[in-house]
């Protein structure tokens, strides 16, 4: 690939990262719109950790054999690892930037920010509603289960999740599963579990600590992010494949469950928007509705750009 082509991959990753940092906007949708979704899924499905570890053997030998180096290079290219690495760098660079912006608005304009999130999620539900199947008792049961699970998780109980490495690891594993599906947002899972503010705060804290030269704070925040990314890597290599298998064998039921999950999760931004409002009046509600409509328009524009949200 040429340098221009690799730059295109990086920019697509940056667009996906920006989307993944905002609840309601799916990085999978961006991948679909920009024409790399099929390649992304194929690369993830073809990534074999055991093969990657086996390649370390030839590289560890001294001196490094030219033929062995060529074999390693060819195997990495076959698994499309360079594509995933460049795309991943784009995703991470955008996530850091957008997360800092979001953290600022969550601190200074919480009602407006959560209203915007609410509109994003609501419009995503509307866009995907046409693919929901409620024609059988099993599908109805799946829908009720998905809605109830998200509704309960996005209540006050979500705030009781302990802020420890184990929780951070599993939250990362769950969030990454949504990233590979068009229309489903990984950040929405974080928001539902009351971990979104914590993770964006970790990104903001690490950035501020690095700029200020505060090594202690940088290590603390960076540790949280590393554990989260480790969970995301495990989720990408395991849980995401389970989701892909469910889509292949039980597409209608799986999609119904996910859309019901998003619908139940609408409770999270709605509740958080007014959590610290002393008095809810017409002005507050009016601003919420306007910002929610702005968020909905973003999703509708993305849906129009992609033609349709497909799986």
The DSSP letter of residue 193 is T
Q: Which residue is listed with tokens 């698994």?
A: 79
Q: Quick check: is 13 in a domain?
A: yes
The domain of 278 spans 3-306
Contacts of 242 (CB under 8 A, 6+ apart): 177
Q: Quick check: is 73 in a domain?
A: yes
261-309: per-residue pLDDT in tens?
888 888 888 887 887 777 778 888 888 999 999 988 887 887 776 554 4
The structural domain count of the chain equals 1
Q: Quick check: is 118 in a domain?
A: yes
Does the pTM of the predicted model rise above 0.85?
no
291, 109 Cβ separation under 8 angstroms: no
65-105: per-residue pLDDT in tens?
666 667 777 777 888 888 989 998 998 888 888 888 888 88
Q: Quick check: is 172 in a domain?
A: yes
φ/ψ (deg, to 5) at 250: -135, 60
Q: Quick check: is 83 in a domain?
A: yes
Nearest to 106 by CA among 215, 13, 187: 187
The token pair at 118 is 């609410």
The token pair at 89 is 């760098």
How high is the mean pLDDT of the chain? 80
158, 192 Cβ separation under 8 angstroms: yes
84, 47 Cβ separation under 8 angstroms: yes
Nearest to 250 by CA among 208, 296, 311, 188: 311
160-198: per-residue pLDDT in tens?
677 788 989 988 988 887 666 666 677 878 887 778 888
Residue 30 predicted with pLDDT over 70: yes
CA–CA gap between residue 186 and residue 233 (Å, rounded): 14
282 half-sphere exposure, CB direction, 13 A CA radius: 0
- Whether the ω angle into residue 63 lies within 30 degrees of 0, i.e. cis, is yes
Q: Quick check: is 23 in a domain?
A: yes
Q: Quick check: is 311 in a domain?
A: no
127-137: per-residue pLDDT in tens?
778 778 888 88
CA angle 170, 176, 179 (to 5 degrees): 155
């Amino acid at each position: 690939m040429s340098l221009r082509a690799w730059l295109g991959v990086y920019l697509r990753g940056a667009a996906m990262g920006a989307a993944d940092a905002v609840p309601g906007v799916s990085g999978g949708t961006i991948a679909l719109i920009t024409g790399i979704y099929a390649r992304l899924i194929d690369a993830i499905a073809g990534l074999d950790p055991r093969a990657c570890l086996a390649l370390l053997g030839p590289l560890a030998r001294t001196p490094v054999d030219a033929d062995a180096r060529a074999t390693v290079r060819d195997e990495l290219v076959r698994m499309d690892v360079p594509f995933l690495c460049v795309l991943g760098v784009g995703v991470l660079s955008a996530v850091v930037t957008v997360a800092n912006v979001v953290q600022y608005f969550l601190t200074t304009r919480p009602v407006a920010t959560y209203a915007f999130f609410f509109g994003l999620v609501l419009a995503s539900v509307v866009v995907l509603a046409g693919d929901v199947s409620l024609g059988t008792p099993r599908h109805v049961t799946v829908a009720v289960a998905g809605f109830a699970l998200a509704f309960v998780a996005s209540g006050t109980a979500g705030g009781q999740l302990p802020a420890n490495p184990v929780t951070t690891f599993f939250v990362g594993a769950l969030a990454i599963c949504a990233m590979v599906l068009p229309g489903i947002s990984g950040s929405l899972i974080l928001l539902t579990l009351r971990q979104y503010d914590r993770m964006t705060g970790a990104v903001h804290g690490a950035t501020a600590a690095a700029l200020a030269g505060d090594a202690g704070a940088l290590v603390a925040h960076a540790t949280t992010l590393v554990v989260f990314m480790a969970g995301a890597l495990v989720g990408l290599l395991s849980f995401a494949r389970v989701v892909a298998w469910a889509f292949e064998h039980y597409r209608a039921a799986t999609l119904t469950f996910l859309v019901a999950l998003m619908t139940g999760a609408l409770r999270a931004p709605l509740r958080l928007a007014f959590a610290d409002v002393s008095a809810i009046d017409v002005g507050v509600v009016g601003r919420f509705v306007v910002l929610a409509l702005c968020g909905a328009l973003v999703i509708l524009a993305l849906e129009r750009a992609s033609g349709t949200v497909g799986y």
